[in-house]
Structure 1
């Protein structure tokens, strides 16, 4: 028995120099899970859950219109190398999703977070996403309650893929959920400081369909039509009339969706124009995170609508160590 043990030990000792000479063999045990995500908020949420055990590549560049984004040839190799592909779903990333299905490895799972979070009966349709076009509003991540479900889905699927690091994924998720709960509560506090008559949103893009009902606000109008063009004259006149009738004090645009007509609409409707709301563009460091994006949104929105932006002051927007 001792001789057999000695021979086995000697065999593995002989292999050690080979492993050291071959970095591929030596690094196998430490290889990170390769995850491909899409828009920046999803990519950041995945990174916070996976932490140091995963390598995340976001296909959609920060600040790019995710609705019109088309993957480039170099994305094929990225998708082929993925151990898991995580998208928002609800038809947001159809070109990327269709390409992924064609080129991914057979064993690579594709998670469509929105489809796993909401039943079809709960999908929202609106001005930018009319029901007759068949594509629901996909912006679930602006509702923090739904993001908590995203985090749990990501955690559970990372554990299935990489059970060896289960405890780390569970710990990261618990930490992240605590941060999200504090953010969720802070958003409610922010809205409560806004005069009730001002709790109305006019935005360029229809991003807040799931946000507004969660936090007690009403979406009055969106400027951008469903074909992502500029609105026509009759649509502009109708929006100006709505803003005047409802007394909305401010309307919100975004650098990602530049619009030539929003300043005109604000001027004609006697409202302030704010072009700093973001739905898929993360802020610069030190708050370069999904939570940082939402905190920045609430400061901007609350102040413009007559509320007290200090409601968000104690939010921790830092990322979990990667």
Structure 2
């Protein structure tokens, strides 16, 4: 059992035909506020392994899982294994005083490659008979991730240096930005996931004008008319097509496909060359 769609897809690619994967969080659902449904109890009880992102993203699910899972079922918190606590990020949507770090590690492909290694090791421990299959699947997947990682660097290199700034609705890019040479200027959504107030809106408009960013970004999971208002008043483009956890429609229905879509949209909006993603393989392995 997994939680958010990107992690579900990673596990599917590494596990292949050797495992059955159930993703708990429905597509298009806000993973931060998701509460397990009564029907999830059966899934959690049946699971041989529970794989979550961690860093406090799935607290209600974790609490329930610990109560009802089989005694021998491990709970794998990927983010907690990949990053030491001193490297956790706190920011606009995740202020330190609230005690919950930004959990969006999977937008940094270097960290995803470490996720993949941890998933592989734990699947082999669970099912050693299929070790060679897991090793082969992981090698294939890591090769795709490495090409994606390289392509993201190429995309950012085509964006004028003055435009390598992100203003988003939800603060999903805290681990992405420092790896790829971008800066998160602001996130519009307050830490309590409400809509921003008038003073916050005015402050963000001033920031946009001061920094000269040509576009601001929203997402389908967090629809916000406030973003449209901010873009209109600041005279910049509003792009509502970035995704931090919703996978695109087929044929690129994969985590890599999500990142290809994100980078194509982001690069073009910030006056870069979106063809940088043209040679990335977004297909899934057989599962």
Structure 1 length normalisation: TM-score? 0.89
Pair 1:145-2:110 in alignment: yes
What is the root-mean-square deviation in Å for CA atoms of aligned residues?
0.4
1:184-222 Cα deviation digits (max 9, x unpaired): 000000000000000000000000000000000000000
In the other structure, the counterpart of 1:6 is none
Shift >2 Å, 4+ stretches:
none
Q: CA offset at residue 308 of structure 1? A: 0.2
Aligned to 2:124: 159
By relative contact order (CA 8 Å, sep 6+), the higher-ranking structure is 2
In the alignment, does 2:223 pair up with 1:278?
Answer: no
2:204 is the counterpart of 1:243: no
Q: Deviations over 1:103-160 (max 9, x none)?
A: 0001000000000000001000001000000000000000000000000000000000
- TM-score normalized by structure 2? 1.00
SS in structure 1 of the partner of residue 283 of structure 2: coil
Counterpart of 1:86 in structure 2 is 51
Which residue of the partner structure matches residue 224 of structure 1? 189
Residue deviations 1:283-306, cap 9 Å, x none?
000000000000000000000000
Query: What runs of 5+ residues in structure 2 fail to find an aligned partner?
Result: none
CA distance in 2, matches of 1:271, 1:101: 47
Could you say which residue in structure 2 is the equivalent of 1:204?
A: 169
* Structure 1: gaps (5+ residues): 1-35
1:102 match? 67
- Structure 2 counterpart of 1:258, from 223, 228, 240: 223
1:260 Cα deviation from its structure 2 partner: 1.5
Structure 1 CA distance for aligned equivalents of residues 147 and 274 of structure 2? 15
Partner of 1:135: 100
Equivalences for residues 1-322 of structure 1 within 5 A = 36-322=1-287
> Following the alignment from structure 1 to structure 2, what is the Cα–Cα distance between the partners of residues 239 and 98?
37
Displacement of 1:58 in angstroms is 0.3
The size of the alignment, in residue pairs, is 287
Cα deviation code 1:237-272 (max 9, x no counterpart) = 110000000001000000100111000000111110
SS of residue in 1 equivalent to 2:21: strand
Give me the whole-angstrom Cα distance separating, in 1, the residues matched to 2:252 and 2:96: 36
State the shift of 1:88 in Å. 0.2
Please state whether the residue corresponding to 2:225 is helix, strand or coil: coil
Distance in 1, Cα, partners of 2:264 & 2:278:
9
Q: Which structure has the larger Rg over C-alpha atoms?
A: 1
